[in-house]
Amino acid sequence: MAIGLMFEMMLGRKTADVTQVRQEAYAKYQTVKSWDETAVLIVDGDTAVFTFDSFEEKVAPMFKWSLDYAKENGIKNFVVDLSKNGGGTDTLLLFMYGLMVNQDLHTNDFGLRYLTVPSGNTVIETSRIDLNLDGVFDDKDKEVSYDFNFALLTTGAAFSCGNLLPCMLQDQGVVILGETSGGGACTLSKAYIENAHFFFISGVKKFIRADDSDADLGAKVDYDLTKIDGDKKDYSGLFDLKDVGEKIHEFYGDYKLGDADLDGEVTILDATAIQRYDVKKLKLSDTAMNLSDVDRDSNATVVDATWIQRWALQMQAPEGIGDSFKRQ
């Protein structure tokens, strides 16, 4: 955990704020398995969250175990919490990346894309990954994949590999929630001085994204879950797993336009829910309000309820009601 501790010292208050809020929030949920202070898997409904704060190779079997557990227990959303992750080895990064994108790729060769600053050349450095952790690099690795709605939680404290993984996965269409990650795009080089002492400095390789943009700018979030509370940011929204789960389902198009009660169907009951919301008898989550706005005027009102009633009676109504709705 040395890398994570060093990073916590650098970021000070921000990391401490995230630590306290996360610890209090996660105590409310079911802990499936905890690996001392290295990693933890928690579950809320159909959403699982794997949390670790440093990219160390020993995390690999923990991550694989968590994915297998989620697969066997009907989990739909699998979230990787990088909210306080200070980076580490890119070996683990490529292992996790491979398991999260291999549903469509069916390979065990994954690469890091970087810019060699002195020459300006773009290089892709490919590694062969033992995805099933059986100690052998073979075609069996190519068949290891998971069909989840993958998601990442990030803050400005997500640095180095904690920043690069979100950038790489976002390029593959994975949803990012929280706060823009904290950068850190250069590889490290070891510099020696007298008496065999050494120190690390930023190297000449700078990681870039699929479109050649600078990974140091961080992965901009699809959903900003932070709020301003006085003179500091409130990170509690990152760890409200009901809301996080709803937003993930929305992003991947699992809900239908008009499904105000989020039960998977559009019925007269949804119109009733909107009417109750309009007279302040019911609260709707951000996701429910977005789905309720069937006429897309940025408001959920009785007009939307009327449109849903008309749609249910097969009368003229705005297009898209009842269809899969994916956040743009």
Q: Can you list the residues of the chain whose pLDDT is less than 50? A: 1-8
pLDDT at 1: 39
The reported pTM is: 0.88
- What the block records as the tokens of 88 is 């580490």
Reference 176, options 289, 82, 60; nearest CA is 82
* Interacting residues of 84 by C-beta distance below 8 A, sequence separation 6+: 4, 8, 15, 18, 19, 22, 53, 155, 157, 158
pLDDT at 5: 47
Domain covering 256-325: architecture = Orthogonal Bundle (1.10)
pLDDT at 109: 97
pLDDT at 197: 73
Domain boundaries, the chain: 2-249, 256-325
CB 237 within 8 A of CB 225: yes
pLDDT at 4: 43
Task: Kindly report the CATH number that applies to the domain delimited by 2-249.
Answer: 3.90.226.10
